[in-house]
Structure 1
Amino acid sequence: MSTPETRRLVAKLWNYCDVLRDDGVSTIDYVEQLTYLLFLKMGHERANRGIFADRALQPVADAWQSLLDADGQELEDTYNHVLREFGQRKDTLGVIFRKAQNRIQDPAKLKRLIVDLINGQQWSNQGVDVKGDAYEELLAKGAEDVKSGAGQYFTPRELIAAMVDCVQPGPDDIVCDPACGTGGFLLAAHDYIQDKHGANMTPEQRDRLAGEGIRGFELVDGTARLAAMNMLLHGIGKPNGPSLIQVGDALAEPSNIYPSVVLANPPFGRKSSITIVGEDGRVGREDIEYSRQDFWVTTKNKQLNFVQHIASMLGIPGRAAVVLPDNVLFEGGAGETIRRRLLKQFDVHTMLRLPTGIFYAGGVKANVLFFDKKPARPEAPWTSKLWVYDFRTGQHFTLKQNRLTREHLQDFVDSYRPGEPRESRQESERFKPFSYDELMARDKVNLDITWLKDPSLEDADSLLPPEVIAREIVEDLTAALTEFTAIAEALEQAKETRSVE
């Protein structure tokens, strides 16, 4: 929600990013440094609120004061000491400062950031909404920094809002995102529950919503700290309490929680791998093949593993809405096995085919799959009909000239009919049902279903602007290159396996 105060605050903070960029500080590095400093400033404010002071935050308050009192090299040394000290803690504070490093090497510019931009603003006395919204906009700007690769952790907020409106999380739900990025899904779910149920929630439900009811997992330290800070600014969790964002590889072992709602956009890229740094300093990558007893098949495909992980972790009853790339819909082998199991053991009821040009990461053709988990029923499949909404054909978006808005997705939400029996849905030009038997009869249970024709391919009068055509060509080529690369790697692995045998 953008307000004049939010825009003023973002503009003030963002202008300084341009100053630091000349020193080699990237957009995402700048937002990360703001995360550290904002937290210290908020801790100082909350520890000095008279009779309402939070004494548990006194170490944070003292740290902020030490930065205000220092100059030059002493400031840089003090800042580095604070980052190291707090990074060793085991609470939310420790998640925010985990492996933290000072990226601002000019003490004078660091001093200006601390004194003029951060200390000059009261961050706690007017509630968290405006400050949280300002931080959210800063994260969005960080995602626009293509070179940093931050966009892969950022799902368009308009899409998130539509998904949450369909799933309708409530105050008794445990909401989880196993690949939470900067926390967009978790915040949207929290705000939805607050907006729809806030007036009638019990004290127990309020405590749940501010704590254990909203949970996330994130592999990348830097992104996890952004999510933890984002949640704190929106009033979720406590700085000196257990972190609601767990840092680590969510796929490595079965989940330790069983949420009733999962909202997720698992990371792009087909293969699961880790970065290895050898003794000689060389960087390489090592493929991961997760062998989990709760998975249907073993595969290196990251998205297929996330599908299995979400299916395993989802509580009963449970509902999920997951952004998945096209390859999950049509890939054979492990992909076919997973689709067959999912359709039989879960109620896979809705799929939204997304247009290109809406993600910061390029070459992405994606869909949102909605499915519910119910008690085991071996005698009959849970999926009866999969309703597919084609929002891709004839839709052309870009990140600047023609951005996706929440209004663009309203027809899908209306067609979904949140909270109503699915029998009340109406078939339309873009929204069609496919029976379980029809799906199982398709080659390899291919769910890459299309029936509409793009009018721009048939009507010369509806030709797209050159920049949109160019963008879509790039998207198609990038997606195709990803597929070809995966095939080449698979063939190479097969050859290596045969040679070993």
Structure 2
Amino acid sequence: MPTLSQQSLERHLWQAADILRGTVDAGDYKQYIFGLLFYKRLCDVWDEEYEKLLAETGDREEAADPDEHRFHIPTEHRWDAVRKQSTQIGQRLNNALAAIEDANLRLRGVFGDVDFANQDRFSDALLEKLLAHFEKHRLRNADVPADMLGDAYLYLIKMFAEGAGKKGGEFYTPRQIVRLMVEIVEPRPGMSIYDPTCGSGGMLLEAVQYLKDRGEDARSLSLYGQEKNFGTWGIAQINLFLHDVDDAFIARGDTILSPKRYDPKAREFVEGVGAYDRVLANPPFSEKVWGYDVWANGDPFGRDEYGCPPKGYGDLAFVQHMLASLKPEGMLAVVVPHGVLFRSGAEGRIREGMLKADVIEAVVGLAPNLFYGAGIPAAILIARKNKPQDRRGRVLIVNGDATYQAGKAQNFLTDKHVKTLAEAVHAFADVDKLARVVLVEEISANGFNLNISRYVQTSADVEAVDVAEEIAKLQDLIAKRNEAEAVMFGHLRRLGYVS
């Protein structure tokens, strides 16, 4: 088998997607590619473990003992067995994936609802071509280490997100933004990390990578998450497994209506709100259907400490859930649309309550067009239940609207940009045209408005505005509009359209 580089592995996997393109809807085929990739990896690693055990013991039965393997694959459902079939290949694949889920408690549901037996989508000829492509390269640990395959999987997720446009943002947050958030909250060995809208698991994995990069014990982290979309939950489980992360617990379900916490004694998820050292999330922007009808009568889990968000904007429901999920000395970072920072009404009252409680530590404004399918700028809100003494009564405002690299279809952050923004948060000090420490009293005087440009402007020279002159211009324009409307209605009356 030829040795794979990272680039050639990524190209090999993306070529598998090319085989399905045009036959399966673009929004669906990622599930099939991810499923086949995972199936091939499991089979190859099982074979690798079997051969090693056989060499050590000389006993075929012992080498095949499920207790000797990280996971079990029934004999009749291994890759080689499926490849012996030339007809009804799709049904054999379905049976194999179902059998693997049944044989491994941790893998229950990871393949989602993929159906290779659908003859309208998958003829035997197409599946033969797809499987033949996958077996061009072995995916054993000796051939493709976990980090290498995990990075290739992230590459696939990114490519599928780019192709999916707005829907891509539902399961993938650009990695540099995730890196920025993790750099800001600085997870330490032994901490618990939680993402209540975990998508494909990127934030949890970035916390792991953060410790690895520092030569620290990443396996000491406890990782938790919840994901509403069943297919995306499966992607997250595969992502973690391929990165050789076993100690991660991802619940399925709606975080706002049915939050889950892991009970280590019962070894299962139960309804309730957990307590974590670090909480990271990129919830859906301004969710319209989020659970208002329930929260309007009081959240059953008591997370609505600062109030009920408006019916059409669920952002602050997620933020309050995250606050409720923090340990006393915990810290959170959450992506929010800019409207959360200045909208009035119920959101204004919640923001006022949070500022008066002094839980908001920093707001980091991001450049526009960094997220898939969302050209509007967003911000990262950083909060703690108990801020450090020297930060109490203050909020750091960072304006990163000019901190980005322009791209063809989308802007992005470089490593330098991530470092600049993260260091600004850590320093918690004024930086000309980038950051400013603002007293809560000043924010209060501004009606608890956190609009970033109100406090930090990045333009080189801000033109002085003569308010009286601008009002006069506005009044002149209003007068001209009224005059034009009067003329128009006069014509309409003469023509008999209005009385």
TM-score class, shorter: 0.7 to 0.9
Task: Say whether 1:449 aligns with 2:439.
Answer: no
Contact 2:398 2:436 in 1 (8 A): yes
Contact 1:251 1:309 in 2 (8 A): yes
Contact 2:332 2:383 in 1 (8 A): yes
Contact 2:165 2:372 in 1 (8 A): no
Change in Cα spacing, 1:246 to 1:397, as seen in structure 2 (3 Å) is same
> What is the match of residue 98 of structure 1?
112
Contact 1:176 1:186 in 2 (8 A): yes
Between 1:13-22 and 1:310-319, the stretch displaced more is 13-22
> What is the match of residue 113 of structure 1?
130
Contact 2:166 2:374 in 1 (8 A): no
Contact 1:152 1:268 in 2 (8 A): no
Give the 5 Å matches for 1:64-103. Answer: 64-65=78-79, 66-73=81-88, 75-86=89-100, 91-102=105-116
Rg comparison, structure with higher value: 2
Change in Cα spacing, 1:427 to 1:61, as seen in structure 2 (3 Å) is farther
> What is the match of residue 252 of structure 1?
257
Q: Among residues 210, 221, 225, which one is paired with 1:216 in the alignment?
A: 225
Matched position secondary structure for 2:191: coil
> What is the match of residue 136 of structure 1?
154
Between 1:355-364 and 1:259-268, the stretch displaced more is 355-364
Contact 1:386 1:436 in 2 (8 A): yes
Q: Among residues 354, 362, 365, which one is paired with 1:353 in the alignment?
A: 365
Contact 2:201 2:240 in 1 (8 A): yes
Structure 1: gaps (5+ residues): 275-286, 459-501
How far the C-alpha of 1:85 sits from its partner, in A, is 4.5
Contact 2:330 2:384 in 1 (8 A): yes
How far the C-alpha of 1:119 sits from its partner, in A, is 6.1
Contact 1:357 1:398 in 2 (8 A): no
Task: Say whether 1:392 aligns with 2:401.
Answer: yes
Question: Cα RMSD (Å) of the superposition?
Answer: 3.1
Matched position secondary structure for 1:317: strand
How far the C-alpha of 1:88 sits from its partner, in A, is 6.1
Contact 1:190 1:214 in 2 (8 A): no
> What is the match of residue 337 of structure 2?
325
State the percentage of identical aligned residues: 26
How far the C-alpha of 1:19 sits from its partner, in A, is 2.8
> What is the match of residue 294 of structure 1?
303
How far the C-alpha of 1:265 sits from its partner, in A, is 0.7
1:388-426 per-position Cα deviation (integer Å, ceiling 9, x unaligned):
111115867345475432222322222223xx6x4xx34
Matched position secondary structure for 1:388: strand
Give the 5 Å matches for 1:92-241. Answer: 92-102=106-116, 104-118=121-135, 120-125=137-142, 126-146=144-164, 149-198=167-216, 201=217, 206=219, 208-209=220-221, 213-237=222-246
> What is the match of residue 439 of structure 1?
443
Letter of the 1:99 partner, please give it.
Answer: D
Q: Distance in 2 between matches of 1:343 and 1:59?
A: 54
Q: Distance in 1 between matches of 2:100 and 2:352?
A: 48
Change in Cα spacing, 1:132 to 1:337, as seen in structure 2 (3 Å) is same
How far the C-alpha of 1:93 sits from its partner, in A, is 0.8
> What is the match of residue 434 of structure 2?
430
Q: Among residues 262, 285, 288, which one is paired with 2:279 in the alignment?
A: 262
> What is the match of residue 410 of structure 1?
419
Letter of the 1:108 partner, please give it.
Answer: A
Give the length in aligned residue pairs.
420
> What is the match of residue 18 of structure 1?
18
1:231-284 per-position Cα deviation (integer Å, ceiling 9, x unaligned):
11111117xxxx62111111114552211101111112331259xxxxxxxxxx
1:280-330 per-position Cα deviation (integer Å, ceiling 9, x unaligned):
xxxxxxx75434133132333221110110011111210111111112111
How far the C-alpha of 1:94 sits from its partner, in A, is 1.0
How far the C-alpha of 1:369 sits from its partner, in A, is 0.9
> What is the match of residue 7 of structure 1?
7
Structure 2: gaps (5+ residues): 54-62, 262-273, 464-499
Contact 1:155 1:265 in 2 (8 A): yes
Contact 2:77 2:95 in 1 (8 A): no
Contact 2:35 2:111 in 1 (8 A): yes
Contact 2:395 2:440 in 1 (8 A): yes
Letter of the 1:151 partner, please give it.
Answer: G
> What is the match of residue 59 of structure 1?
73
Q: Among residues 342, 355, 372, which one is paired with 1:343 in the alignment?
A: 355
Change in Cα spacing, 1:250 to 1:72, as seen in structure 2 (3 Å) is same
Q: Distance in 2 between matches of 1:381 and 1:101?
A: 57
Letter of the 1:195 partner, please give it.
Answer: D
